[in-house]
Amino acid sequence: MVRRHFPVAAFAGLIVAIQLATLFTGTPYYLTQLTMTAYYSLVVVGLCMLIGYAGQISLGHAGFFAIGGYVSAFLTTFDLQHHRGAFVSLLEKSGALVFRHDVYGGSLLTVHPWLACAAAILLTVAVAYLVGGPVLKLKGHYLAMATLGIGIIVYRIVLGTEFLGAADGISEVPGFPLPGGLLITGNASSRVSNYYLAWGIVILGMVLLLNLIRSRVGRALAAVHGAEDAAEAMGIPTARYKLHTFVLSAVFAAVAGVLLTHYNAGIGPSEAGVMKSVRYVAIVAIGGMANLWGALSMSLVLNYLSLRGYFGTYDDAVFGVILILIMLFAPDGLLRRHLLSDLKRMVSRNPAEEETP
Amino acid sequence: MLGGMTAVTLNHFLPLPLAIVLAVVLTMIIGAVIEILFIRWLYKPSVLRMVIITIGVSILVREIALHIWGEGVRALPYFTGSSVSSINLGGVYVSSQVLWVIGIGALAVASLTAFFNLTMLGRQMRACAANRDAARLCGIDAGNMVTLSFVLSAAIGAIGGAIVCPITYVQYDSGTPLAIKGFTVAILGGLGNSTAAVGAGMILGILESFSIWVLPTAYKEAISIAILLAILFFKPSGIFGSAEAARLKEF
């Protein structure tokens, strides 16, 4: 086994160990929150790529999460039976639509989840490209405010649109079928399989990002982060790399939104809220900015604690405090990659200073 | 939000003018405390870092307000008259509170302009904004200026909160949209130009109010942000700002 595969294997081992622990302590219901944590972690690692490696902040990723979730939820719950036209029958013939029964036994004709997922990702890519171009030209606090603004626009639109359920959101979203008879759904009977599915997808995403960081693109991004003008002078198309990373992390958020919506069987406007975006950024910050594993492990711990309700009514305040403390004392992030070597240097420097008179 | 909320609470046992003055003073102190606790001691913080810290602080203030005042919607009584009385101005019936808002707003702008242009302190503050290091070389205490600017903007925010809250009401989370609107207006008018900001604020308010002709009311909030984005994308110097001046700033 190559050395760089070790963390992936270790993390997979941790996931198995957690499942076994819940099995032996008789607490399998924890797996539900852990599965939701997995999907939120997908957003976090995507955002970590953008913040840590491309050096661009986004306070609007909950917006992309919501675009993914809402498009998928709407398409898989909207009954097309009474909207029969040429386009609908064409879709029906090509197998893109499915008949199913709702909870009351009535029949529904809706878009197939896979097609809905594809539509959700396509829309996210389109939006991310459209706003990413001009947004990423901005720097510093203008970038932060612009992305925050995009998040709020999405929030306002889903909150104010009647067919998206307004303040109630969309419910009764069906499960997401996967090959091999698997189904992404919140049913207690498929809790274990869904837990592994979700974390499997996260690990898949991690491997993708880790390989990307090790590639030409990753090195280019590191150069952009270090010194954008110098990178530009070396012939790196900085704007294009930043935009592509932005779109990639938006897609991560949208996929997470689609899957969590199918898992929870619904989505509400709070998923698009500013607090969610701030929370993702806070987790990336505490995870060490340019440290995918740090972000992932912090996301696992903090999202889980938050979803289990350990923070009580102080939920938002906890993430606000985390953000303040990190930005005050460790603006490079807490679990940054060179933390160990930095600490070592600090320890070894002290005796050296004593020697010099 | 803090200004409105504290004024409402203080008004329970103080007369209205005194409650508002005290609320403004309290908010100024809170502004100073926030600056001293979170910003002042940082060594050359980047603007982005300060923005993220202040976003964190605003979440914290909001949560504290939620725990102190709960989710209830509150309001101050009208300064004169009541919510149903109105004043006839040449055939147009205007609520008296609207006149208070316009009057006090105009007074605030006028005194700010005077402060920045006529007093030594105001000029020192502008020098810091233009070039911190050069200002420091001239013997200006830049750290104190930043604290003062926090106090000043906290005061103006609190005054604003107190005078509009009879009309718009105030709630624990009514601060966030206002903060974004404030940022939009500041950008729209060109940063550091308070007279232009007034014009920009009027344009934004009118656009937002008339947007309900073509779009559902629920999208009203999104309008001001869409305008913010459009300005940032196409004319980051603001509609009244000069392009040359903007080029000197980092966008």
Q: Per the domain annotation, does A349 fall within a domain?
A: no
Residues from chain A that touch B222, judged by Cβ atoms under 8 A, are 152-153, 156-157, 160
The chain-wide mean pLDDT, for chain B, equals 77
Residues from chain B that touch A275, judged by Cβ atoms under 8 A, are 59
| Mutant choice from B55, B173, B176, B183 vs A, greatest count of A C-beta within 10 A | B55
Report the alpha-carbon distance of residue A144 to residue B175 in Å, rounded.
18
Report the alpha-carbon distance of residue A246 to residue A240 in Å, rounded.
10
Residues from chain B that touch A135, judged by Cβ atoms under 8 A, are 229, 233
> What is the pLDDT at residue A353?
44
CB–CB contact A317 B59 (8 Å):
yes
Residues from chain A that touch B38, judged by Cβ atoms under 8 A, are 324, 328
B250 interface with A at CB cutoff 8 Å: yes
Which of A59, A157, A324 lies at the smallest CB-CB distance from B222? Answer: A157
A272 interface with B at CB cutoff 8 Å: no
Report the alpha-carbon distance of residue B99 to residue B88 in Å, rounded.
12
- What is the distance in angstroms between the Cα of B46 and the nearest Cα belonging to chain A? 8
- The radius of gyration of chain A's CA atoms, rounded to the nearest angstrom, is 22
CA distances (Å), A2 to each of A6, A8, A207, A219, B247, in order?
A: 7, 11, 14, 20, 50
CB–CB contact B47 A328 (8 Å):
no
- What is the distance in angstroms between the Cα of B53 and the nearest Cα belonging to chain A? 5
Question: What is the DSSP pairing of strand A170-171 with strand A97-101?
Answer: unpaired
What total of structural domains would you count in chain A? 1
CB–CB contact A149 B46 (8 Å):
no
CB–CB contact A152 B56 (8 Å):
no
Q: Per the domain annotation, does A93 fall within a domain?
A: yes
Mean pLDDT throughout B139-165? 83
Which of A149, A313, A327 lies at the smallest CB-CB distance from B228? Answer: A149
Which structure tokens are listed for B2? Answer: 């803090």
- What is the distance in angstroms between the Cα of A132 and the nearest Cα belonging to chain B? 11
CB–CB contact A156 B219 (8 Å):
yes
Asked if residue B116 has pLDDT above 50, the reply is: yes
- What is the distance in angstroms between the Cα of A340 and the nearest Cα belonging to chain B? 24
Which of A142, A313, A328 lies at the smallest CB-CB distance from B53? Answer: A328
Report the alpha-carbon distance of residue A154 to residue A146 in Å, rounded.
13
Residues of B numbered 3-42 whose beta carbons fall under 8 angstroms of chain A's beta carbons: which are they? 38, 42
Residues from chain B that touch A319, judged by Cβ atoms under 8 A, are 59
Query: What does the pLDDT look like over B73-95, one tens digit per residue?
Result: 777 777 776 666 777 777 777 77
Residues from chain B that touch A159, judged by Cβ atoms under 8 A, are 218
Which structure tokens are listed for B215? Answer: 């779009």
Q: Per the domain annotation, does A166 fall within a domain?
A: yes
Report the alpha-carbon distance of residue A243 to residue A59 in Å, rounded.
16
Which of A139, A141, A324 lies at the smallest CB-CB distance from B38? Answer: A324
Contacts with B224 (C-beta within 8 Å, 6 or more apart), sequence order = B180, B181, B184, B204, B207, B208
DSSP A220-289: HHHHHHH-HHHHHHTT--HHHHHHHHHHHHHHHHHHHHHHHHHHHTEE-GGGGSHHHHHHHHHHHHHTTS
CB–CB contact A141 B50 (8 Å):
yes
A130 interface with B at CB cutoff 8 Å: no
Q: Per the domain annotation, does A57 fall within a domain?
A: yes
pLDDT in tens, chain A (357 residues): 567 778 888 888 888 888 888 888 878 788 888 888 888 999 999 998 888 888 888 888 898 999 998 988 888 887 777 776 767 777 777 666 777 766 666 677 778 888 888 999 999 999 999 888 888 877 777 788 888 888 888 888 888 877 777 777 787 777 787 777 777 777 777 788 888 888 988 999 999 998 888 888 888 888 877 777 788 788 778 888 888 889 999 999 999 999 899 888 888 888 888 888 888 888 888 887 778 888 888 888 888 888 887 777 777 888 888 888 888 887 776 766 566 666 666 666 554 444 443
Q: Per the domain annotation, does A357 fall within a domain?
A: no
Residues from chain A that touch B232, judged by Cβ atoms under 8 A, are 134, 138, 142, 145-146
CB–CB contact B53 A327 (8 Å):
yes
A144 interface with B at CB cutoff 8 Å: yes
ipTM of predicted complex: 0.74
DSSP A332-349: T-TT-TTHHHHHHHHHHH
Q: Identify the domain containing residue A267 by its residue range.
A: 3-332
Q: Are A278 and A284 in contact (CB under 8 A)?
A: no
> What is the pLDDT at residue A132?
86
A247 interface with B at CB cutoff 8 Å: no
Mean pLDDT throughout B14-43? 82
> What is the pLDDT at residue A123?
93
Residues from chain B that touch A150, judged by Cβ atoms under 8 A, are 225, 229
**Number of CB atoms found within 10 A of residue A79's CB:** 12
Which of the two residues, B58 and A350, has the higher pLDDT score? Answer: B58
Residues forming a β-bridge with A110? A98
Q: Any idea where the domains of chain B sit in the sequence?
A: 1-170, 174-251
